[in-house]
């Protein structure tokens, strides 16, 4: 991205359109998590500096990443297939719609996976669209 105000506004509008295309229609299917940190021995938390969200955290016990915002939990579910991590489903509670939470969740997930040297298979339509629109993460995607 060139960094101009016009490009930044267009990028934000496209991110919001992606989130509206793949909205969460139900509350988080796996329930609310009270987990306050990354489990011992698991690297990875991606933090955002705006104070609106805690860090994206991996919950390997539930096979999902979580981002808590204003008491609501957005999730990105996954499963392990050999040496690959398959992103299967993303949910953002309706209460958080239109706030860029899905994009922040996806960014955190891909940042964590990059730090681990993971190979990613984005089967979830939201994650597949995100990585297609953010080519800086394309090197993580399985060929």
pLDDT per residue as tens digits for the range 90-115: 999 999 999 999 999 999 999 999 99
Residue ranges with strand state E in the chain: 45-46, 56-59, 64-69, 72-81, 84-91, 119-122
The whole-angstrom distance between residue 60's C-alpha and the CA centroid of its chain comes to 15
pTM (two decimals): 0.68
Q: Can you tell me the mean pLDDT for 77-88?
A: 96
Q: Which helix (H) or strand (E) holds 129?
A: helix 125-133
Q: Can you tell me the mean pLDDT for 1-23?
A: 56
Check: CB of residue 59 under 8 Å from CB of residue 66: yes
How far, in Å, CA of 66 to CA of 11, rounded?
24
Give the strand pairing for 84-91 and 119-122: parallel
Q: Which domains does the chain have, with CATH numbers?
A: 5-30+38-140 (3.40.630.30)
Indicate if the pLDDT at residue 53 is higher than 50. Answer: no
In this prediction, residue 6 carries a pLDDT of 66
């Amino acid at each position: 991205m060139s960094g101009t105000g016009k490009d930044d506004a267009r990028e934000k509008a496209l991110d919001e359109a992606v989130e509206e295309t793949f909205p969460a229609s139900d509350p988080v299917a796996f329930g609310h998590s009270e987990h306050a940190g990354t489990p011992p021995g698991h690297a990875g938390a991606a933090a955002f500096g705006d104070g609106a969200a805690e860090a994206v955290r991996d919950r390997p016990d539930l096979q999902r990443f979580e981002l808590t915002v204003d008491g609501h939990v957005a999730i990105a579910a996954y499963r392990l297939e050999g040496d690959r991590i398959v992103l299967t489903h993303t949910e953002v509670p309706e209460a958080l719609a239109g706030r860029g939470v899905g994009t922040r969740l996806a960014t955190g997930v891909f940042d964590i996976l990059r730090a681990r040297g993971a190979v990613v298979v984005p089967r979830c339509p939201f994650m597949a669209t995100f990585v297609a629109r953010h080519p800086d993460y394309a090197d993580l995607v399985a060929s």
